[in-house]
Protein backbone atom coordinates (compact mmCIF):
# COMPACT_ATOMS: atom_id res chain seq x y z
CA UNK A 1 0.00 0.00 0.00
CA UNK A 2 1.52 3.38 -0.94
CA UNK A 3 1.96 6.17 1.58
CA UNK A 4 2.92 9.84 1.35
CA UNK A 5 5.66 11.54 3.31
CA UNK A 6 6.49 15.21 3.64
CA UNK A 7 10.14 16.13 3.10
CA UNK A 8 11.27 18.12 6.14
CA UNK A 9 14.60 19.42 7.41
CA UNK A 10 16.16 17.86 10.49
CA UNK A 11 15.30 19.71 13.71
CA UNK A 12 18.89 20.95 14.26
CA UNK A 13 19.13 22.66 10.87
CA UNK A 14 19.10 26.46 10.40
CA UNK A 15 16.96 28.32 7.88
CA UNK A 16 18.04 27.98 4.25
CA UNK A 17 17.01 29.48 0.92
CA UNK A 18 16.03 26.99 -1.76
CA UNK A 19 17.97 27.95 -4.88
CA UNK A 20 17.25 25.12 -7.32
CA UNK A 21 15.18 21.97 -7.82
CA UNK A 22 17.39 19.23 -9.23
CA UNK A 23 14.52 16.92 -10.18
CA UNK A 24 11.08 17.79 -11.52
CA UNK A 25 7.76 16.66 -10.08
CA UNK A 26 6.92 13.15 -11.28
CA UNK A 27 10.49 11.86 -10.85
CA UNK A 28 11.42 8.68 -8.98
CA UNK A 29 14.08 9.57 -6.41
CA UNK A 30 16.46 7.22 -4.63
CA UNK A 31 17.37 7.29 -0.95
CA UNK A 32 20.16 9.85 -0.53
CA UNK A 33 19.74 11.34 -4.02
CA UNK A 34 20.31 15.10 -4.16
CA UNK A 35 16.99 16.62 -5.16
CA UNK A 36 17.52 20.34 -4.46
CA UNK A 37 20.17 22.94 -3.75
CA UNK A 38 19.93 25.09 -0.61
CA UNK A 39 22.05 27.99 0.61
CA UNK A 40 22.63 29.53 4.00
CA UNK A 41 24.02 32.67 2.34
CA UNK A 42 27.63 31.53 2.70
CA UNK A 43 27.67 27.94 1.41
CA UNK A 44 25.57 25.75 -0.85
CA UNK A 45 24.13 22.39 0.17
CA UNK A 46 22.47 19.43 -1.56
CA UNK A 47 19.18 18.34 -0.02
CA UNK A 48 19.02 14.51 -0.10
CA UNK A 49 15.83 12.46 -0.34
CA UNK A 50 15.56 10.51 2.93
CA UNK A 51 13.67 7.64 1.27
CA UNK A 52 13.01 6.29 -2.23
CA UNK A 53 9.75 7.27 -3.89
CA UNK A 54 7.94 9.37 -6.47
CA UNK A 55 8.36 13.11 -5.92
CA UNK A 56 4.81 14.29 -6.58
CA UNK A 57 4.91 17.94 -5.50
CA UNK A 58 7.33 20.72 -4.72
CA UNK A 59 5.82 22.88 -1.98
CA UNK A 60 8.81 25.26 -1.84
CA UNK A 61 10.05 27.13 -4.87
CA UNK A 62 13.38 28.75 -5.79
CA UNK A 63 13.90 31.79 -3.58
CA UNK A 64 11.74 30.48 -0.72
CA UNK A 65 13.13 30.39 2.80
CA UNK A 66 12.81 26.85 4.20
CA UNK A 67 13.09 25.77 7.83
CA UNK A 68 12.24 22.81 10.04
CA UNK A 69 8.55 23.74 10.23
CA UNK A 70 7.95 23.79 6.46
CA UNK A 71 7.27 20.94 4.08
CA UNK A 72 9.62 21.24 1.12
CA UNK A 73 8.21 18.46 -1.07
CA UNK A 74 5.83 15.46 -1.02
CA UNK A 75 6.92 11.96 -1.96
CA UNK A 76 4.83 8.81 -2.47
CA UNK A 77 6.44 5.53 -1.40
CA UNK A 78 5.48 1.90 -1.97
CA UNK A 79 5.08 -0.54 0.87
CA UNK A 80 3.84 -0.35 4.43
CA UNK A 81 3.96 3.06 6.07
CA UNK A 82 7.16 3.65 8.03
CA UNK A 83 8.62 6.62 9.87
CA UNK A 84 10.68 8.63 7.40
CA UNK A 85 13.74 10.46 8.74
CA UNK A 86 14.11 14.19 8.29
CA UNK A 87 16.69 15.43 5.80
CA UNK A 88 20.12 16.82 6.63
CA UNK A 89 21.58 19.01 3.86
CA UNK A 90 25.06 18.00 2.65
CA UNK A 91 27.63 20.72 1.97
CA UNK A 92 28.79 20.98 -1.63
CA UNK A 93 32.51 20.71 -2.34
Instruction: Please tell me the predicted confidence (pLDDT) of residue 40.
Output: 96
Quick: pLDDT tens for 42-73. Answer: 999 999 999 999 999 999 999 999 999 999 99
Share of the chain above pLDDT 70, in %: 99
Instruction: Please tell me the predicted confidence (pLDDT) of residue 92.
Output: 87
Instruction: Please tell me the predicted confidence (pLDDT) of residue 21.
Output: 98
Quick: pLDDT tens for 14-45. Answer: 999 999 999 999 999 999 999 999 999 999 99
CATH 2.40.30.10 fits 3-79, yes or no: no
- Beta-carbon contacts of 46 under 8 Å, excluding residues fewer than 6 positions away, are 22, 34, 36, 37, 38, 89, 90, 92
The answer to whether 50 and 82 have CB atoms below 8 angstroms apart is no
Mean pLDDT across the chain, nearest whole number? 96
Instruction: Please tell me the predicted confidence (pLDDT) of residue 54.
Output: 98
The H-or-E segment that residue 72 falls in is none
Report domain extents, the chain.
3-79
Instruction: Please tell me the predicted confidence (pLDDT) of residue 1.
Output: 85
Amino acid sequence: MPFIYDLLLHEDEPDYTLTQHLVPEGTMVETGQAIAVLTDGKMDFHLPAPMQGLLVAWLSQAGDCVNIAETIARVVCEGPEVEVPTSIPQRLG
